[in-house]
Each structure stands twice: as structure tokens, then as C-alpha cells.
Structure 1
């Protein structure tokens, strides 16, 4: 346990130092952290055995809420936009969740997809308000009341994103180990038993759904702040599939897997798109196939398996 914590601390420290060594990595890391937060929301739902194929809905909704708020506030404050975006996605998650938590498995996943695509169509058609396919620009917000130029802003945004990711990951970890989190896991194994105990499975899943939506919302605001532009592509079904892909790649059973998968996914995508532009989807698909066939627990599970063998070999050697 101590070794795992030390490794996590070293990994966070390495990520924190990387932009100082390679300034080009700022954008890559912020986008990976933003997607990792959305995937963290997917991981929360996977604890209950439910998969959302429409979580880009909340990723996009919070980004648009932040864009409208930033325009109204002439840029606004980054922390304020994060809070507004998380609140907006949480309210939307509550409204959608009241409907979708009555269903399970494929019906749950497809209904989420349907809501996401309806929202995508609204963003495309109501171009007088949303900018249509061109999207909306998001004015550069201040950070702690300070207006920054582009380069300093990107550095500050990266460290805000990293800090937010660390804090929210810890909170989600504590939530999943709490009584509501254990009840969430029970939905996957024996939902009827929860009802016999007087616990409402729908209530437990609804709370998890709202938390999941807010996590995706925070990720959407961070991505929008880095890119300075919000488009309907944020809500497209491909983005939702991307989140599920990353969850499987990283390891759906562990909160750290959300960010491990996001970092690897963005890294492979960036280099594959640069050096194999015509086949980067093939490379990602092959990577997922290998994970599913030979490491079903994802990158985190693969790491645990390798570490376990190394430790066992070390014990046998003396």
C-alpha cells in the first residue's frame, strides 16, 4: 500500500514537472486531465455495472455554460467558471438521471446516448444562440483575479487542472469506499438485496449519476478554457465512446485508471496522428483489443500483475 502511494506521488510530481521541461506538453496534459475527469465519472457508474454512452452530454453542457458565463462576465474567473460549469452539469445530470436510473445495462447506455445526441442536434440547429457548427469562443478568464497572457495562462491552467484532478480523484476514492459507494457496488451484484435492506437502488444510482455528471462537467470547462472554443463536437457520440474507451484502457476498477488511460490515449493519439495520420484509429483499436484480450483489468490491472510477479520473484530469490 505504501509503495502504491509513493508511486502515485512520484507520478503526480513527474506530471507537474513535465511542462517545465517540455513546454509543448501543457495543452496535451490539460486535455488528458480534462478527459480523465470525465472518465472518472464513467468509472463511478461502472462501479454499479452501468455504462453511459452519452456522457459527452455533460462534458459539452458545462463547456457551453462556461462560455455563456464568460461572455456575460467579460472573461470571468476560472474558478467561478468551474463552479458554474459543475453546477450546471449537476442540475442537468439530476434531470436526466431521474429518467435514466429506472433502467439498467444496454437500456441505460442507449438512453444516455439518445439524450446526448438530442443535445448535439440542439447545438447544431440553434445557431443564433450556440454558433452552430462553428461553436462559441470562450474569452480567456482570469486566474485568482490576475489577467495572464497566453503562455502564462496555459501554465497556470495546467496546475489548476492538476490540482483539481488530484483533489477530485481523492474525493471519489473516498466516496467509493464509503457506505453509499459500497451500496453502489451492490447494485451490480444483487440489487434486490438492497431493496430488502430498505435502501433505494434508484436513489443510490441517482446520486452517483449526478456526481458523475459534475465530474464530466469540470472536465468540459477545463478543456474549453484550454482550447478557447466550444463546439457541438463536444457532445457528439464519438466523444462519449472515447470516454468509455479510455475507461476500459485505463482499468475500470480503479480511479487512477481514468487518468492513466487518458494520458496513454492522448499520447498515442497525438503521435499516431502526427506519424500515421491515416491509421491512428487502427492503432488505438489494436491497443484496445490487446487490453481486452490480455489485460482485461486495463493498464492499472496490468501494472498490479507485473508488480506482484516482481515482488514474488524477489521473495523467492533469497
Structure 2
């Protein structure tokens, strides 16, 4: 029988809460939550790479691939089914990441970061200069349908939110399982000492490649959900500023839990809104100050505050179970 850990139970419990909030809260707050869920998927992709010691400054590439795959399918082929658009975005991201992974898996640290950024900016230049792809203005997406079900008005809004929340929660549960799997443990070992991983007979290149592909697929799903929520795509999705914001989210939230980036995306969205309202011309300074203070005082992110309040655990050698210290 499959056992769920505390993180997964928390995620499952959050799903009905999110659906209920979509009915009770004002639509503008619900919209921010929905947008945050989409970008949160991309932040999750950045996070699982950071657990391996890899910082991707080009995750906007797959965020954009997902959004544009859905947008172009709707614009030129009339496809409006959300699940078909989601599948198309995943396939395009999967093929692209498998190919690029053979290059990026050979590099680490700043070289990995800059290569991922360079590839992302190539797509940005291509989209910005191609009229058929909407150029710098991008284009709108159709209202999604759901396996021949085409709701309208308020029902359409609530349906899209509920499906978005469900997909994000289920994806987070799967990624949590991945972090606890052999691949997740190998990634942590790569972060600490890659040479020893190779000595133990495990291919660090293969582990990095697999992680890169998983991160790409998750990010493309976030791109599709984000694009459908806003009804629009444009090249800014793959600009370096967008990719940098995903790294900012993970630094702000921390990598201690799969839940952290999902909360961090909403906090960043709210922070950006109020920063623009308080200082329209220098709002970036406020975001930069928050990042600087976080790095100085909370180097492991806001989630470290939660971890500090949690009881420390030890492993019982007889049962192999984790128990609170002092028990």
C-alpha cells in the first residue's frame, strides 16, 4: 500500500482549500493564485535542479515552449482542449530537453547557468523577430475546453482554476516522490561530491540529463496553464528577466520542501504588486532588497523558518523509522 508523507498529505489537503477559495475570494486574488500556480510549476523545475547543485537561468525556455505550443495549436489548428494542449506542450518540451540535455549535462556551476540562459535567449530573439509567431506582441489563446465540455462565464473560470490546481498538486506530489527516489538521492550526492558519485559507478551525466528533462516537462506544463489563465503569450516568457524571477522565487522560498516554491511564487506576485504600487519607477529595487536580506539572514530561504520550528528527528536503528528527538 502506498504511504504518503506529511508533505504529500499537506498538498492533498490544500487542493479542496484552493477550490473553496476560488469561490469565496475576490476574482482578482483568485487570478493571482492561478497565475502563481502556473509559474510555481516552473519554480519547481528550477528547484529540483538546484537540489543537484545546478542553477538554471534559462528555465523560461520551457515555460515559453509550453505556452507557445498551446497558443500555436489553438491559433493555427483550432485545438482548444486543455488536455490536448497540455500534452502537446509536454511533447515539444520533452523532445527539446532530451536533445539539449546531451550538451548541458556536461557542464556545472556558472557554465550550466550561462548555457541555459543562452539557449533561452536564442528562442527569445527568434520569437521577437518572427511575424508569424506574433513578434514582440505575441498573440491570444482561445478559451479552453475540457473533453468536449465547454463551460462559459463564471463556470469556465472556476473550472480552469480547479483543473489547474489539481494538475499542480498532483505534479508536486510526483516531484516529491522523485526527490525521495534514487534519482533524488543521487542528485544530492552530485551537489556534495560528483567525483565520488562516479567512483560508486553511477553516471552523474545521466542523472543530470534526466533531472533536466523532468524540469523541462514540468516547466512546460506550467507554461500551458499560465498561458491559458491569462489568455495570451509573448516572447517575454523566455526573456532572461523571466527566467531570473524563477531563480529568485526558489532563493526566496528555499529548497527544503516541494511546497516552498509554490508558496514563494504567490508571495513574489503579491510583493511585486505592492512594490509597483509603492514605487512605480524603482520597484525592482524593492525586490532586490528583499532578495539581499533573504540571502544574508535566511540563506536557506523562508522555508528554513518552518524547519526550525519542526521537531528535530533521529532514526531508530531497530525499526528504521524517524522519531522526534527525546522520544
| Structure-2-length-normalised TM-score | 0.88
Identify unmatched segments of 5+ residues in structure 1: 310-318
Aligned pair in 2 of structure 1 residues 3, 254: CA closer, same or farther (>3 Å)? closer
Q: Is 2:137 the counterpart of 1:134?
A: yes
Question: Is the contact made by 1:43 and 1:254 (CA closer than 8 Å) also made in structure 2?
Answer: no
Measure, in 2, the Cα distance between the counterparts of 1:182 and 1:308. 23
Measure, in 2, the Cα distance between the counterparts of 1:80 and 1:3. 32
Measure, in 2, the Cα distance between the counterparts of 1:2 and 1:206. 27
What's 1:292 paired with?
A: 295
Count residues in correspondence: 309
Question: Is the contact made by 1:27 and 1:154 (CA closer than 8 Å) also made in structure 2?
Answer: no
Deviation at 1:239, TM superposition (A): 0.3
Measure, in 1, the Cα distance between the counterparts of 2:12 and 2:298. 24
* SS of match in other structure, 1:241: helix
Alignment match of 2:82 (pick from 78, 81, 99): 78
Aligned pair in 2 of structure 1 residues 181, 126: CA closer, same or farther (>3 Å)? same
What's 1:248 paired with?
A: 251
Q: Is 2:191 the counterpart of 1:188?
A: yes
Question: Is the contact made by 1:32 and 1:262 (CA closer than 8 Å) also made in structure 2?
Answer: yes
Q: Is 2:44 the counterpart of 1:30?
A: no
Deviation at 1:273, TM superposition (A): 2.4
Alignment match of 2:64 (pick from 60, 66, 70): 60
What's 1:94 paired with?
A: 98
Identify unmatched segments of 5+ residues in structure 2: 313-327
Question: Is the contact made by 2:65 and 2:220 (CA closer than 8 Å) also made in structure 1?
Answer: yes
Q: Is 2:235 the counterpart of 1:232?
A: yes
RMSD of the TM alignment (CA)? 2.1
Alignment match of 2:221 (pick from 218, 221, 229): 218
Provide Cα deviations, 1:181-223, integer angstroms capped at 9, x if missing partner: 1111111112122222221111111000000001110010011
Aligned pair in 2 of structure 1 residues 175, 307: CA closer, same or farther (>3 Å)? closer
| Structure-1-length-normalised TM-score | 0.91
What's 2:181 paired with?
A: 178
Tell me whether 20-29 or 5-14 shows the greater mean CA deviation: 5-14
* SS of match in other structure, 1:146: coil
Measure, in 1, the Cα distance between the counterparts of 2:90 and 2:264. 23
Provide Cα deviations, 1:50-88, integer angstroms capped at 9, x if missing partner: 100011011001111111112244242001111111121
Question: Is the contact made by 1:54 and 1:237 (CA closer than 8 Å) also made in structure 2?
Answer: yes
* SS of match in other structure, 2:18: helix
